Structure 1
Amino acid sequence: MKKFPILILLLTFGVLSNVDAQWTEAGNYVTLSSSSKNVGIGIAAPTYKLEVNGPTKIFGGQELQIDNADISFLFHDPGDIIYSMGVDVSDSRKFKIGNGAGIGDNTFFTMTTDGKIGIGESSPNAKLEVNGNQRITNEIRFKNTTTLKGLVWGASNWTATYSRVDDYGGNLYVMTDDYFYLAGINSSTGAPGNKTLTANTATGTVGIGTETLDPAFKLLVNGKIKAEEIQVVVDVPADYVFEDNYYLKPLAEVEAYIKEKHHLPGIPSADEIKEQGWQVGEMNNKLLEKVEELTLYMIELKKENEEMRQEIDQLKKKIK
């Protein structure tokens, strides 16, 4: 038996007779209320223009078209609205999902007509904009042929202070126009803990174990350094000592200087070292200078000893 012609007949009869028409079969029924003009499918007393109690299916190739100022669907338990979903015509025809009775009430998902999605953000300015905490259990992968990709913190117009982590040519860049910190984390609050590394990207200075940076030094370390090898570049090596025009102070002059100053000529005093520190490159070169001067003094002493030995040998021969 075909149900639809009978259904149409019953609905027509109900409208014409100005009484409620009802079709039942195995406990299911269709109701047309002549007073409210509401239609119910699977419900005896519909309170909306169309109210369906049961699964609903629209076959492929067909469409469900709704024309209204604000287009919405409400999903709820009886008397308790759970979610609202629809198009907010008054707000640039954005598609919204919320947990209020109307479109725009307690909205947590927004999609604009040009494909931008906001979660917790009603006016997204990017393909995906999230206002709130996120948790991702798997990887985040960026695929972009432009130079602007990666993770960005700050204003979207690139004019204010911002930071960025990005990949360029297979190299990872951590970029900021202010200070960069590598720090521990407070496990209770999530706030930064002690700063292990501090970098000023404007001056190119780095501090390890200290936040106080000095633009005169590229690296400041508050603590001990252990290394297998350190290479220090010196502009003028100490080999100038062996040049013919180098003035090698007589030992008597060196002795007088030591008695007066209590340190070697050309070497900082103990007070100067305490105040200014030990400049590794400069001081190593000065120490090498003193070693080379000592070598020259030893060569001179050896010559003097040879001359004295010859004179002593000659005196011994005369005595014999």
Structure 2
Amino acid sequence: MIKTYVTLIALVLACNSSYAQFSTAVLGNTTTNDNVGIGTQTPINKLSVLTNNLGGISIKGNSGTYQGSDFFIGRTSTSPVVGYSPCIQFGEESTIYGALIQSHQGQFQFFNAAESGWHESLRITAGGLVGIGTSTPDCSLTVNGSFKVFTNNNSNYFLYNAADVVLKFSERGTGGRAIVHDFDNRLTLNYNGDFTGGTLLGKYAFFTENASGTSFLSNGNLAIGTTNAHGFRLAVNGNIRAQEIKVEAGPWPDYVFKPTYKLPSLTSVKAYIDKNQHLPEMPSKTTVAKNGVKLGEMNKLLLKKVEELTLYLIRQQEEIEKLKSAVNKKYRANN
């Protein structure tokens, strides 16, 4: 095998260095000046090989492990080559060590030998699109399967494995599954809390989870410590601590102090309490246990009751003053 390589190289070098000033035709092979032609009498390169449709240059081993085609360049109709396209082949398909590069209609195709035959591993289209694992790329780079991009000896990487996007930047932590196409056709960010610092959306929308519960944002409603906001803009399963809470509620019950307001008599109020065991207009114990309390509405009702109570006290004081005046008047009359 080595002898074959040496002989071919020596032939090329000899032709290149001799600058022969003659032309000899033997079975279609010609040497003209410093060019060598095989199958042509007008070689235009240092070595020109002319075939009709098929054929080319090949180097083969002739015995044992190295028997078979080691290198071929030219045209062939053997699958997977299409339409006698020019190709370069290394090794044989049957050895599973083979590889083949083909140029067809402006595109490059790269094949690897496998047990089931040639397998196309990469294609570059005439338009410059690159496909890995696919023969029909539709983007600048189309990959059929998983792919990984890494730096710093694999310490930092981007990985896509058909369902998950995994990120890691070693200087900031272990990273993990950043984006997952989850069950129930759900998009999951920070799957299973792989990013232990939580999830930040934009600049201020931050979500984290721990043993006390999970925060959710759905349909514009925020649920904290629960998965169901029950239609409220904010639902919290637990205690809330705040420096101030502003509730916009109206109309405010100052109308109680207007002269036209009809203050219920204490007799009617007592009758209502005896029957229902709570003040008029106030929610019952059962209602509160079931639906909770609306802070704005409850504050209005409480203020209304305080204002009504104030009117009762004012009227009572007026009655007391009248009684005191009558008693004093009678006392003076008797003394």
Give me the TM-score of the superposition, normalised by structure 2. 0.52
Amino acid at match of 1:81: Y
1:125 maps to 138
Any conservation in 2 of the 1:205–1:217 contact (CA below 8 Å)? yes
1:185 maps to 192
**CA-to-partner distance for each residue in 1:259-288, whole Å, 9 max, x for gaps?**
110001001110111122222222222222
Provide closer, same or farther for how the CA distance between residues 229 and 179 of structure 1 changes in structure 2, counting only shifts above 3 A.
farther
Any conservation in 1 of the 2:69–2:91 contact (CA below 8 Å)? no
Greater share of strand residues, 1 or 2?
A: 2
1:271 aligns with 2:286: yes
**Pairwise mapping of residues 95-244 of structure 1 onto structure 2 (< 5 A)?**
95-100=108-113, 105-136=118-149, 185=192, 196-201=214-219, 204-212=220-228, 214=230, 216-244=231-259
Query: Matched residues in 1 for 2:188 and 2:108: separation?
Result: 41
Provide closer, same or farther for how the CA distance between residues 132 and 307 of structure 1 changes in structure 2, counting only shifts above 3 A.
farther
The Cα shift of 1:311 comes to 3.2
Gaps of 5+ in 2: 1-12, 30-45, 50-54, 60-67, 75-81, 152-161, 164-184, 195-208
The Cα shift of 1:108 comes to 4.2
Query: Matched residues in 2 for 1:319 and 1:32: separation?
Result: 151
Q: Percent identity?
A: 30
Amino acid at match of 1:129: T
Runs of 4+ in structure 1 over 6 Å off: 10-14, 30-33, 178-183
Provide closer, same or farther for how the CA distance between residues 49 and 112 of structure 1 changes in structure 2, counting only shifts above 3 A.
closer
2:316 maps to 301
Query: Matched residues in 1 for 2:227 and 2:285: separation?
Result: 28
The Cα shift of 1:72 comes to 4.1
The Cα shift of 1:250 comes to 1.4
Q: Report how many aligned residue pairs link the two structures.
A: 236
SS in 1 for 2:256: helix
SS in 1 for 2:235: strand
1:251 maps to 266
Query: Matched residues in 2 for 1:179 and 1:94: separation?
Result: 39
2:167 maps to none
Query: Matched residues in 1 for 2:99 and 2:132: separation?
Result: 15
SS in 2 for 1:118: strand
SS in 1 for 2:97: strand
Any conservation in 2 of the 1:38–1:49 contact (CA below 8 Å)? yes
2:303 maps to 288
Amino acid at match of 2:295: V
Provide closer, same or farther for how the CA distance between residues 317 and 211 of structure 1 changes in structure 2, counting only shifts above 3 A.
same
The Cα shift of 1:249 comes to 0.8
The Cα shift of 1:185 comes to 0.7
SS in 1 for 2:308: helix
Any conservation in 2 of the 1:258–1:265 contact (CA below 8 Å)? yes
Provide closer, same or farther for how the CA distance between residues 208 and 248 of structure 1 changes in structure 2, counting only shifts above 3 A.
same
